Amino acid sequence: DGGITQSPKYLFRKEGQNVTLSCEQNLNHDAMYWYRQDPGQGLRLIYYSQIVNDFQKGDIAEGYSVSREKKESFPLTVTSAQKNPTAFYLCASSMVSGTGAFYEQYFGPGTRLTVT
Amino acid sequence: SQQGEEDPQALSIQEGENATMNCSYKTSINNLQWYRQNSGRGLVHLILIRSNEREKHSGRLRVTLDTSKKSSSLLITASRAADTASYFCATDAPGNRDDKIIFGKGTRLHILP
């Protein structure tokens, strides 16, 4: 079964702790993305990667970090520097067209992070 | 940076009726995509329409694109309870040299039994 998985589905952390969200895909996609979604809002891009060992900041990268050591994996770390980390986090992947976003994105089921 | 904006923000219709959602964007695009999100779930891709296309169909879905007005519409015909979800349009970013897309805030569709 090809797809994209995120774990865990729910995550609870105390303020001041770093936390890492997992994202794995077996679709053989080169591009992977992390989005944040707040209640009643659209998706905002945190980081994206178009190739292994390379990634770019999105619109709201402050307080987050990523790595892309393997094609299949793109973990996101929410650091203690992120002022308001409680949100729904979505990971996605796609083929790469190079320009113009010609391919659809495939999404994981999401991780709901609650920081208290 | 928001490119697409959906209208209306929320829509409630009776089962069996048609639902129309609109998306407007600010700058020229290469592609526009529509996604569906059921509550608490990931997004599912519905349709991608390229800038040189005017209309696309997929089952009960019909998407139109008017690049002169910088707008798109998603029509769902003969709605069903299972169509209750949020619907998002997404466009490639201005001056895009990669594959990132920008999402609007979505239309929340509720199908009444």
Q: What mean pLDDT is reported for chain A? A: 93
Nearest to B100 among A101, A109, A110 (CB): A101
Tell me whether residues B2 and A58 touch, CB distance under 8 A.
Answer: no
Most A-contacting residue of B23, B100, B108 (CB-CB within 10 A), to test interface: B100
Which residues of A fall within a CB distance of 8 Å from B32? none
What does the pLDDT read at residue A26? 97
Give mean pLDDT, residues A85-112. Answer: 91
Question: Mind listing the pLDDT tens digit of every residue in chain B (113 residues)?
Answer: 556 788 899 999 999 999 999 999 998 888 999 999 999 999 999 999 999 999 999 999 999 999 999 999 999 999 999 999 999 999 987 676 778 889 999 999 999 99
Q: Is B102 helix (H, G, I), strand (E, B) or coil?
A: strand
User: Residue B92: beta bridge partners?
Assistant: B101
What does the pLDDT read at residue A30? 94
Phi, psi of B18 (to 5 degrees): -90, 145
Tell me whether residues A100 and B31 touch, CB distance under 8 A.
Answer: yes
Give mean pLDDT, residues A69-96. Answer: 95
Most A-contacting residue of B38, B51, B63, B99 (CB-CB within 10 A), to test interface: B99
Give mean pLDDT, residues A86-108. Answer: 89
What does the pLDDT read at residue B73? 98
Q: With bands split at pLDDT 50, 70 and 90, how would you rate the model's confidence at A29?
A: very high
* pLDDT over 80 (residue A100): no
User: Does residue B69 belong to the interface with chain A, where contact is any CB pair within 8 Å?
Assistant: no
Q: How many CA atoms lie within 13 A of A48 on its CB side?
A: 22
* pLDDT over 60 (residue A1): no
Tell me whether residues B40 and A102 touch, CB distance under 8 A.
Answer: no
Separation CA A94–CA A99 (nearest Å): 13
Give mean pLDDT, residues A56-70. Answer: 96
- CA angle, B63 as apex, B57 and B69 as ends, to 5°? 145
What does the pLDDT read at residue A90? 98
* A85: closest CA of chain B, how far (Å): 17
What does the pLDDT read at residue A2? 64
If you write DSSP's letter for every residue of A18-83 in order, what string do you get? -EEEEEEE-S--SEEEEEEE-TT--EEEEEEEEETTEEEE-TT-TTEEE--SBTTB--EEE-TT-S
Name the CA radius of gyration of chain A, rounded: 13
